[in-house]
Amino acid sequence: MNYKLPLNILHVADLHLLSARLHDKGDALHRISLQGDGKVLPYSAEIVEAFTWYVLRQKPDLLVISGDLTFNGELESHLDVVEQLHRIQSGGIPVALIPGNHDIAIASAAAFLKGSIRSAPSISEPEFLELYRAFGYDRARWRDPASFSYILELNDGLRLALIDTNTRLAPGRISPATLEWLDRSLGEASAQGETILTATHQNILVHNEKFTRGFIIDNHLELMQVLDKYRIRLNLSGHIHLQHLALTPEGLNETATGALSAFPHLMAHVTIDEELVLQYRTESLNVSGWAAGQGVADPNLMDFEAFSSQYFYGISALKTGADLLQDPSLSEPEVIRMAEFAAEVTRAYFSGTLHLLLQDPQRHQGYRLWEEKGRHLRFWHYLNSFLIAPLKNENELRLSLRPKP
């Protein structure tokens, strides 16, 4: 690859595509969706179709996907993802990706048809490579034999290291062999004066003190040591489905880009200019714009933003509502007000826009009600974890990739 600067990368994570052949938008899927985290599973295939439409029109120089391509690693879903990615590459946009923790050898891979849930085939590690060889692996200048990690030479001076932490032998971790490979490869690059940007699925830095186990790479400190050694400034991650920036002014920074599969369906524009200054800015995928262009008549798709926003809100409200109903001292209007507040706050938090809603929590009646009556409930602890650090705009970032002297 020999990109001229400025370089426009589109970065996304957590597509979680569930093939339309594996569900009938019926009861079985509905039940699973309500227990979920806001992924709009019934319209999963349409979201990715709209994404392809967007990418082909927007024409970034490179599309980078930080894993979790499928809902739960179903072979059928992978086949759909591969088809979409071939369309994107045929349109002249190279793709580079790594797997997430929901992509390979997933036991819960299933079909949701006629009201029942039946197990469906997933894929093995060799099958992953067979399917996705054309999306990064064929173009890699350096590849790790112990994982699906690799390094792309973006141009003379700039490299992108995609680090896989989801192998069968070391799930959720970076294995000693991969760490050694990375250390050696980055060492050589850095000795040649190359600037390096990295990407992972799971997080290296903490984005929320309450969500670390299972979200952060188990041995993230070891990985951070290597990245710090070569004074890497930015890692692009996903997985937590939270739009958030973990900032360390003198060291490694990390973007966690929200899930493409859940409201507000964020994608990150990452632009690197001639001075190696990087700008990161998110945008919501316009699914209804795509639907209008296709002449789709489904009202949920025609106003998808409202539908998906309400979908996320409804799932949050139901979950907190169930906790609130356990407390007999709360009146019905209190339960409703508290559940509504929790859903609104959770939706804004995961969209990276809580700073617009809750700059001064005490001014909100809902917050005061929670403080007075809900301190023993789960959401109160979540809410406090959202407010540990000062609220900021989580959707924009500007930093120099050049190592600090």
Q: Which is nearer to Fe ion, 16 or 373 (CB)?
A: 16
Q: How far apart are CA 87 and CA 83, in angstroms?
A: 6
C-beta of residue 302 within 8 angstroms of C-beta of residue 296: yes
Number of other residues whose CB lies within 10 A of the CB of residue 138: 10
Q: Which is nearer to Fe ion, 24 or 125 (CB)?
A: 125
Quick one: 7 exposed, middle or buried, by C-beta within 10 A (0-12, 13-18, 19+)? buried
Contacts of 254 (CB under 8 A, 6+ apart): 203, 204, 205, 207, 234, 235, 236, 237, 245, 246
103 binds Fe ion (CB under 5 A): no
108 binds Fe ion (CB under 5 A): no
Residue 120's Cα: distance from chain center in Å?
Answer: 24
Q: Which is nearer to Fe ion, 258 or 374 (CB)?
A: 258
Q: How far apart are CA 389 and CA 125, in angstroms?
A: 39
Closest approach, Cβ 163 to Fe ion, in A, equals: 14
Q: Which is nearer to Fe ion, 101 or 353 (CB)?
A: 101
Question: 234-237 and 195-199 as β-strands: parallel, antiparallel, unpaired?
Answer: parallel
Q: Which is nearer to Fe ion, 38 or 100 (CB)?
A: 100
Closest approach, Cβ 191 to Fe ion, in A, equals: 34
DSSP helix/strand/coil, 282: strand
68 binds Fe ion (CB under 5 A): yes
Among the listed ranges 39-47, 61-69, 114-122, 203-211, the one in contact with Fe ion (CB under 5 A) is 61-69
Count of residues that interact with Fe ion, criterion CB under 5 A: 4
16 binds Fe ion (CB under 5 A): no
- Binders of Fe ion among residues 369 to 398 (CB under 5 A) are none
73 binds Fe ion (CB under 5 A): no
100 binds Fe ion (CB under 5 A): yes
Q: Which is nearer to Fe ion, 239 or 244 (CB)?
A: 239
AA identity, residue 29? L
C-beta of residue 252 within 8 angstroms of C-beta of residue 205: yes
172 binds Fe ion (CB under 5 A): no
Q: Which is nearer to Fe ion, 94 or 258 (CB)?
A: 258
101 binds Fe ion (CB under 5 A): yes
The answer to whether the peptide bond before residue 264 is cis (omega within 30 degrees of 0) is: yes
258 binds Fe ion (CB under 5 A): no
39 binds Fe ion (CB under 5 A): no
Strands (E), 106-225: 110-113, 116-119, 142-143, 150-155, 158-162, 195-199
Site string for Fe ion, 216-255 (x = CB under 5 A): -----------------------x----------------
Q: Which is nearer to Fe ion, 165 or 395 (CB)?
A: 165
11 binds Fe ion (CB under 5 A): no
User: What are the structure tokens assigned to 194, written together?
Assistant: 């190359």
Binding site for Fe ion (CB under 5 A): 68, 100-101, 239
